[in-house]
C-alpha cells in the first residue's frame, strides 16, 4: 500500500498533503535524481525551492508558527513519497523538520522560511565516530568538539546540535557563527543530495538555546523521529526500485521472451513485494521510539535487499550510473548505516529486551 493510500484511510486533508508529496517526488524530483546524485547545486536548489514552496521543510511546525501543522505520521508518509523521487532530498526534509522540532516553537518560528537547517545528533549511542562535544559556561554555553559526518549539514543555513549528555540538549547554530566551521567531508555512498559535513566547534555559542529544563525534544525523541523517517525514506527507495525493476523486466528480452517470464527474475520481483508488505508504512500520529528503532532496521534491510535485486534484474545495464538503479542501491546502503549502523541497532534492541 502506498503512502498516499495509507493517508487516505486517515483523513482527506492528510491524503491531500501526501498526494502533494507524491507529485513532488515523481514529477519534480525523480526526473532530476541523477543530477541530484551528481551533486549539481542547481538541481538541489531547484528541488529545495519546491520543497519549501509547499512547506514540507517545516511541516511539523504549527500553522501559527509558519508551518503546515502535520502530525509525525503524516510527515512520514510524505517522506516516503518524496523519497520515491530522491532519498537525499527526503532526508533533508526530515533533518529540517527534526531540527525545528528540537527547538521551542517561538525559536523555530524565528528561523527564516528561506533557510534550510539540519539536525545533527551528537554521538548517538554506541556509534563509532569521532564526535565529541563538550559544553562550558553558565549562561549560553559554548560548544567545543567535532561532529562528522553530519548528514545534510553541508550548505545548510544552520544546524541544531542535540546532545545526550550536555545541558541544555539542543543548540541552534547559524552558519557563520564564530567558532563554527562546516566543511565538506568524505561523501557517503548515497543520499548525495544530503551531503555530509565535518562540523568543528571551537567555543561556538548557540544563537538559540531552549530554556533550561524546557527543551521540547529530548535526544531520544529526536533520534526516534530520525529513525522513523529513515524507515519511511527506505520504503520510498524500495518502492522506486521495485517499480523500475518490474518495468525493465517487462521490456527486456532474453532467450526470446521478456525476462519477467524467467523464474529467476519473477522470484526476485516477488520477494520485493513480500518485503514491501512486511514493512508497512508507520503513520500513527505519535512516534514510539522502540518501534521506530525496529522498524528502521527492518525497512532499511528490506530496501537494501530490494534495491540490490533490482540492480540484478537490470544486469550489466543496472551497474551503469545512467540507469539510476544503482543509485537506489547506494541510497539504501547509506540508510542502513544512519543514524546508527544496523548491528548497533540490534544491540540496542537486544538490550531493551532485558537480560
Partner 1 sequence: MHVAVGGTAPSLQEAFPRLRQLEKHDRGLVRRLERRQLEARQFADAHLRGIALDVDRRADEDPSYFDWELIRTGGRQGMLDFLLPAQVGGGGCFTIECAVVMEELCAGCPGLALIFGAHGLGISPLLLDGPVHWDVMSEVAAAAQRGEPMLMACALTEPDAGTDVEDVDLLERARITSHARRVPGGYSLSGTKRFISNGGVARWLTVMMPVDPRRPAETWTCFLVDAKSKGFWVARNEHKMGQRACPASELVFDEVFVPDDRLVARVGDGAGATLIVLAASRPPVGAIATGIARGAYERLLGWLREDPDARGLLERQSVQLRLAGMAEQIHLSRQAYMDAAVEFDVAALGGATGSPLLKGLGLVPTGVHRRRRVRRLMSAPATRDALAGFLNRATSNEAITRSLGLSSLAKARGGDVAMGVTGAALEIAGLTDAPVRAELQKLWRDAKLCQIYEGTNQLNRLEVFRALVARETMPALPPRRRRVDNAGAVI
DSSP secondary structure letter of residue 30: G
Q: Is residue 322 a contact point for partner 1 (CB under 8 A)?
A: yes
Q: Is residue 326 a contact point for partner 1 (CB under 8 A)?
A: yes
In the numeric block, the cell 537480560 is attached to: 355
Query: How far separated are the first and last CA of the chain, in Å rounded?
Result: 37
- How many Å apart are CA 168 and CA 268, to the nearest integer? 49
Query: For residue 175, with 0-12 CB atoms within 10 Å meaning exposed, 13-18 middle and 19 or more buried, which class applies?
Result: middle
- By beta-carbon proximity to partner 1, the closer residue of 97 and 334 is 334
Q: Is residue 342 a contact point for partner 1 (CB under 8 A)?
A: yes
Contacts with partner 1, 225-254, as mask; x by CB under 8 A? ----------------------------xx
Contacts with partner 1, 68-107, as mask; x by CB under 8 A? ----------------------------------------
Instruction: Considering only residues 279 through 308, tell me which ones interact with partner 1, judged by CB under 8 A.
Output: 304, 308
Q: Is residue 200 a contact point for partner 1 (CB under 8 A)?
A: no
Q: Give me the least distance between CB of 240 and partner 1, in Å please.
A: 17
- By beta-carbon proximity to partner 1, the closer residue of 129 and 218 is 129
- How many Å apart are CA 285 and CA 72, to the nearest integer? 5
State which H helix or E strand residue 142 sits in: strand 142-150
Determine which residue in the list 165, 280, 321, 351 makes contact with partner 1, applying CB under 8 A: 321
Query: For residue 257, how many other CB atoms are within 10 A of its CB?
Result: 9
Q: Is residue 315 a contact point for partner 1 (CB under 8 A)?
A: yes
Q: Is residue 117 a contact point for partner 1 (CB under 8 A)?
A: no
Query: 222 and 121 in contact (C-beta within 8 Å)?
Result: yes
Query: For residue 293, how many other CB atoms are within 10 A of its CB?
Result: 21
- How many Å apart are CA 97 and CA 65, to the nearest integer? 13
Query: 116 and 48 in contact (C-beta within 8 Å)?
Result: yes
Instruction: Considering only residues 127 through 146, tell me which ones interact with partner 1, judged by CB under 8 A.
Output: 127-130
- How many Å apart are CA 202 and CA 181, to the nearest integer? 8
Q: Is residue 316 a contact point for partner 1 (CB under 8 A)?
A: yes
Give the interface segment with partner 1, choosing from 67-75, 200-208, 240-248, 330-338 (CB under 8 A): 330-338
- How many Å apart are CA 249 and CA 273, to the nearest integer? 15
Size of the site for partner 1 (CB under 8 A): 46
Which residues are CB-contacts of 72 (< 8 A; sequence separation ≥ 6)?
Answer: 60, 225, 228, 284, 285, 286, 287
Q: Is residue 27 a contact point for partner 1 (CB under 8 A)?
A: no
Give the interface segment with partner 1, choosing from 53-61, 105-113, 163-171, 336-344 (CB under 8 A): 336-344
Q: Is residue 266 a contact point for partner 1 (CB under 8 A)?
A: no
In the numeric block, the cell 517545516 is attached to: 58
- By beta-carbon proximity to partner 1, the closer residue of 148 and 181 is 148
Q: List interacting residues with partner 1 (CB under 8 A).
A: 127-130, 148-149, 185-186, 188-189, 196, 198, 253-257, 262, 264-265, 304, 308, 311-312, 315-322, 326, 329-330, 333, 336-338, 340-344, 346-347
Amino acid at each position: 500500500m502506498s503512502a498516499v493510500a495509507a493517508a487516505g484511510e486517515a483523513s482527506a486533508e492528510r491524503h491531500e498533503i501526501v498526494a502533494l508529496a507524491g507529485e513532488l517526488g515523481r514529477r519534480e524530483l525523480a526526473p532530476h535524481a541523477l543530477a541530484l546524485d551528481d551533486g549539481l547545486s542547481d538541481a538541489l536548489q531547484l528541488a529545495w525551492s519546491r520543497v519549501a514552496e509547499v512547506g514540507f521543510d517545516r511541516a511539523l511546525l504549527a500553522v501559527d508558527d509558519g508551518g503546515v501543522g502535520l502530525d509525525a505520521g503524516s510527515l512520514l508518509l510524505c517522506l516516503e513519497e518524496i523519497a520515491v523521487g530522491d532519498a537525499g532530498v527526503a532526508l533533508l526534509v526530515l533533518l529540517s523538520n527534526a531540527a525545528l522540532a528540537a527547538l521551542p516553537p517561538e525559536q523555530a518560528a524565528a528561523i527564516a522560511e528561506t533557510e534550510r537547517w539540519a539536525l545533527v545528533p551528537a554521538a548517538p549511542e554506541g556509534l563509532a565516530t569521532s564526535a565529541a562535544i563538550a559544553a562550558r559556561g553558565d549562561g549560553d554555553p559554548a560548544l567545543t568538539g567535532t561532529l562528522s559526518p553530519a548528514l545534510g549539514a553541508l550548505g545548510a543555513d544552520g544546524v541544531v546540535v542535540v546532545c545526550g549528555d550536555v545541558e541544555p540538549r539542543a543548540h541552534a547554530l547559524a552558519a557563520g557563527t564564530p567558532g563554527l566551521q562546516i566543511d565538506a567531508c568524505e561523501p557517503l555512498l548515497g543520499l548525495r543530495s544530503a551531503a555530509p559535513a565535518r562540523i568543528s566547534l571551537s567555543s561556538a555559542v548557540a544563537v538559540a538555546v531552549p530554556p533550561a529544563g524546557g527543551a521540547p525534544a529530548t535526544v531520544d525523541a529526536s533520534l526516534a523521529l530520525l529513525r522513523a523517517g529513515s524507515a519511511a525514506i527506505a520504503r520510498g527507495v524500495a518502492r522506486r526500485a521495485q517499480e523500475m525493476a518490474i518495468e525493465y523486466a517487462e521490456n527486456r528480452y532474453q532467450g526470446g521472451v521478456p525476462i519477467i517470464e524467467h523464474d529467476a527474475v519473477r522470484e526476485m520481483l516477488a520477494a520485493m513485494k513480500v518485503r514491501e508488505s512486511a514493512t508497512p508504512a508507520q503513520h500513527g500520529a505519535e512516534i514510539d521510539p522502540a518501534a521506530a528503532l525496529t522498524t528502521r532496521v527492518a525497512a532499511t534491510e528490506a530496501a537494501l535487499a530490494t534495491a540490490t535485486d533490482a540492480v540484478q534484474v537490470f544486469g550489466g545495464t543496472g551497474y551503469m550510473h545512467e540507469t539510476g538503479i544503482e543509485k537506489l542501491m547506494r541510497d539504501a546502503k547509506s540508510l542502513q548505516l544512519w543514524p546508527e549502523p544496523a548491528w548497533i541497532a540490534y544491540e540496542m534492541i537486544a538490550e531493551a529486551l532485558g537480560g
